[in-house]
Amino acid sequence: MIHISATMFLTLDGVMEAPHLWHPAYVSEESLAVLAGQLAGATAMLLGRRTYEEFAGYWPHQPDDVPLAAEINGIRKYVLSRTLANPGWGDTTVLGEGVQAAVRTLAEREERVLVAGSARLVRELLDRGLLGVSVAAVTSSVQRARAGLRDRLGPDRARWRRGPALTDHETAVLERYMRAIEAADHRALADLLAPGARVSHQPGAGGHHGAEPIWYGGRAAILERWAPVLHGPYGMSLRMTPTAANRQPAATYIRVPGDGHYRAFSLSVVTVEGGLLTELAQFGPELSPYFRLPGVLTPPG
C-alpha cells in the first residue's frame, strides 16, 4: 500500500510562498538532517508544476557536495501537470490525469512518496484523504496555517527580514504591549495599535472557538472585540510571557475566577512597524510546547 507524506517550509502565520526570501536564515544541521531523512525514507518525490519548475531551475545545477543536492537529483520524481510536456530533469515522469488518478498510478509503482512544497497539491491530497503524514520543516510548527494569508495580510509579507534577534526598539514595543494587556489598559493598547492594524485568530486561539480562522482589522474594531476579555464583567486576568516566533513575540495566559492558575490562552505573533503594532496573529495554546512554554503558570506569591 502506498504511503504519501508531505514536507514544507511554512511560517507561523501560514506563508509558504517564496521561501528563498526568508527560510535560509533558519537552515541548520538539524533541519538538513530532517530533510535528508525524509528523502532517504521515500522511494519517489511528487511535486506540483510550479514547485517542480522552481526545483528544476535550481537543483540540477548544484554539485553533490551541496546539502541535499545528491538526494533530490537522484530520487525518482513525478510532477502533477496537464500542461508540462517535457520535464527534462533526470528521472521525471509527468502525471496529467488529476490527483486521484495520479495516486492510483503511483500506487502501482511506488511504496513511499514524499510531496515537497506544492501547497495546492497538498491541499487536494488532504481534502481527498490521501495524505498520510504532513511534516512542517519550518521555523515554527503550525497545524492549521493557511498558505494564502498573504492576500489577507497585505503585500508587505514578501519583505522578510533575516536574523533571529529582536531589535531593541521591537523589544521595547513588545514590553509596552505586554504591560498594556496585563493591566487591561485600554488607552495604552490603543496608543500601540496602528490605525489599520490587522488581527487573525486560528481555531482555538484567544477565545475563538470556530472551526475556521477569522480576521478583522482597524484599531476600533480590535479594541471592541478585545474589551470583554480585557475589562469585561467576568473577572478574568491575563499574563504574558515573551518568546520569539520568526522574530515576532509573545505568549498569553489567562486566569478565570475560581482558578488558581494562569492557563495558556494563545500565542500572539505580533509585527512591529514604525513603533506600532500592525499585525497580531493569534495561534492556539497547543503550540506552547514548540516554544518551550508551560501550559500553566502559577501566580506569584
Same domain, 195 and 105: no
Same domain, 21 and 135: yes
φ, ψ dihedrals at 146, nearest 5°: -115, 140
Same domain, 107 and 73: yes
**Strands, DSSP E only, in the chain?**
3-8, 44-48, 76-80, 92-95, 112-116, 133-136, 193-201, 214-217, 237-241, 251-255, 262-273, 276-283, 296-297
Same domain, 137 and 175: no
Residue 212 lies in a domain: yes
Same domain, 64 and 202: no
State pLDDT tens for residues 273-289.
888 998 888 888 877 77
Q: What is the pLDDT of residue 215?
A: 82
pTM recorded for the entire structure = 0.48
Q: What is the pLDDT of residue 219?
A: 92
State pLDDT tens for residues 164-216.
466 788 888 888 988 898 888 989 999 999 999 988 887 778 777 777 778 88
Q: What is the pLDDT of residue 248?
A: 56
Q: What is the pLDDT of residue 233?
A: 63
Q: What is the pLDDT of residue 195?
A: 92
Which residues 6+ apart lie within 8 Å of 161 measured at CB? 247
Burial of 264 (0-12, 13-18, 19+ CB in 10 A): buried
Residue 158 lies in a domain: no
The total of structural domains in the chain comes to 2
Same domain, 118 and 217: no
φ, ψ dihedrals at 153, nearest 5°: -100, 0
Residue 155 lies in a domain: no
Residue 163 lies in a domain: no
Q: Which three cell numbers stand for residue 100?
A: 486521484
Taking all residues of the chain, what is their mean pLDDT, rounded to a whole number? Answer: 77
Q: Last residue of a domain, which of 149, 182, 202?
A: 149
Range of the domain at 210: 168-297
Q: Last residue of a domain, which of 149, 182, 216?
A: 149
Same domain, 129 and 177: no
Residue 194 lies in a domain: yes
Residue numbers of the chain with a pLDDT score lower than 70: 1, 11-22, 25-26, 132-166, 232-235, 244-251, 254, 256-258, 290, 300-301
Residue 185 lies in a domain: yes
Same domain, 287 and 197: yes
Q: Which three cell numbers stand for residue 273?
A: 512597524
